[in-house]
Structure 1
Amino acid sequence: MIWALLLLSLLLLMFLLVPVWHREKADDRYQSEENLRLYQERTDELAASDLDEEQKQALQLELDREFLAANSTVVSAQTKASARYRWPVAAALFVVSVGATVLLYQQWGAANEMRATELLEKASQAELTPPERSELIERLAAAGQKQPGNIEWNYLRGRLLNANGNFAEAAEVFADILVVLPEEATADRAATMSLLAQARFFAADQKADNGMYQLLKDSLELVPGNPQALGMAGMLAFELKDYQGAVNYWRQLWLSMGDTPEAQMLAQGILRAVEHVREQGGEVDLSWMKRAEIKVLVDLSAEAKAAVDPADTVFVLARAVSGPPMPLAVQKLTVAQLPQVITLSDAQAMAPGMNLSSHEQVTLVARISKSGQPMPQSGDWQAEQSPVSNQEKELVKLMIGSLVP
């Protein structure tokens, strides 16, 4: 932007100064022509006079001197006097034009959005200083007012206000976004509902109400299984004494988590909610709180053993019968280690929310990979069994003996 402004300023300077330059040249030419006319007129009058030749020559010499002086001194002085006013005026016009351009660009151009983007990029690499965070919030607000149809600016502002602890203001921003979001934008609406409930909860000094709780229910109806929404819905349900609801939401969240310290803390919250349910005369089945674990005996047939090398890689994995193909648990060993009993559990999950406990029915696969890659390829050997309960108590046997076409 700076280089473009400099280029435009240079063009503007040329536009303003060229007329001044040409005006001076034109004035000089006009004055010279007028001096020449007067000189010729007086010369003709002198030639037609009755004076003798000696007097004529003396007067002619005087005329010549006056003509030269007029051109070299008088005209030059007049031109400089004229230039003394023209150049400052041109310079003033240049400064005013450049200043007006910058001000108008700040008002109507993209300078604000460019600075906001610059600060956002910096925030992704390092923590902003408090003045920079305040500036970013102000610039996001200005961008949102300038482009009401661009929801992203307001969404970023709301998230930043939440992070800054300005919960009441953040709640207003998210409420405004929810009004303009189209109904078909289910994921965006669900995320905004969760953020709005969170902002209102903290703005109310962490006191829950049914409006916040309903926002989270609506969010989970649009996008079931969202971990943040499940966690907060369980918390609000607990605060509002809907203990069975708290257990239900936290159960979904717990099943999606691995065996981590966070999951252990959540389990304590679930047990407290269960105690309240029982105090109210209800009953809760907690058999699901036992972490899923499947023991698998992996061996290979004589035909497969003759076709593979002891150093070939063996993958043993479990994936959901109905769900994404990403493994819920996986172990890696070599042909030389077979036969062997291995245990598949949540500890081998590859991604949050994708573990053995979160899917009741799984498919077990044992594959010898000649390439060493987990994806099946022609020439690999494998065994598969499906469906298998994620709470299977018996030892599952997988005999590798099928050639992958």
Structure 2
Amino acid sequence: MAFWQGVLILGALGAVFVLWPIFRLPISRGLAAKTIRRDITQADLYQEHLADLNKNLANGDIEQDQYEALKIELQRTLVSDSAGLKEVEVKSGGKLLLVGVAITAPLLAVFLYLQWGAKGDWDIHQIMQAERDNPATTQEAFEASTKELLMAVRSRLKQKPDNHQMRYLLAERSMALKDYDEAIAAYKKLLEVEPGSPTMSIKLAQALFVRGGSKVTPEVAHHTNVAVNGAPFMYQALEMSGLVAFHNQDYKNAVTFWQRAKAQLDPNSRSAQALDGAIMKAARAGVASEQAMSDGDSVAATADSQESPNVDRGFDLDVKLAEGLQASPNDTVFVYARAWKGAKMPLAIARMTVADLPKVVRLDTTMAMAPGMDMSTATELELIARISKSGTPVPQSGDWQGALGPVVLGQGIEAKSIVITDKIP
């Protein structure tokens, strides 16, 4: 709405700028209006001069040949003045053309702006701003918002196919809606623009991995290798490289990759503990494989190697009410984690009632509302515990909540707690 209001205001100002001098002109030329019939005055003057010539000829003041020459000169003067008047009259008709320009120019400008301007970017910005102002706390609301955004992004890419920021947004949100084909196509387009990009390579590998039912294919392995070679300390690349190595029964390298990934986490965090389990599983598989090979029987080790370890990242959060806070036992409580900065969509969420409090709530990467949008995608997290009087996920006046942040996943935040103390005005 604000966009079209601005268009109308600018269009009106432009029309006034063009039309005001046109309609003001007759007022400022009041005296000149008396000369509209100047052609009649010229004819009268001609007759007067001709009468004077005839009188001078009759009185003998001039000869006949002088009379004829002066008469011809007088006629030429009349013709010249009449031609000048006609030219001025034709020019005065340009007023209609200027009025037409004043009306059509703003309309043409709006049309061209819609075709070539940044209106599409503005629409996308408005949708994302609405997401930040009213974050979705249900899968249905998130999907509806994401579908609306994707429609706007696809439309914008038809106008500007080289807008790489829009294409990246298309890939990320397509992953969130489990449209893996569209996400993979978008990541591949981005890799064409920036070949060998570690970020795009690992995201493409993850998308292929998920679409293939969590199976490591040669294509997944290729893009994972590109990512880890380009960014040897990227956590996602190390974690995925461990899975690829484990799948290929390269247990030694699987242990190496996961150990390097674990080095980036708090040793006491649950994420580090999950990686510890994966490392131990790979180490045992390696020992079993070597033993089986030495015994001439590798069947058991091979069967064990096909089962990918469960590597998740999460933490426990102690949620409690402030002393003296009165709330109905049936009121709904939402506990969720979201990015400290950026989009406010929950990356993990749990639901309970006030009667359940105090309670230790588990939040981890398996509780994501959509694939590719879990807690591991945020550098810093904000943790929220909120009592909803209406039972709806959207914050409303009168709700109570507690917040904690910024916190970093895997850095001891499992020992933290949230106390619900603040009332939303």
TM-score (ref. length: structure 2): 0.46
Q: Higher relative contact order at CA 8 Å, sep ≥6: structure 1 or structure 2? A: 2
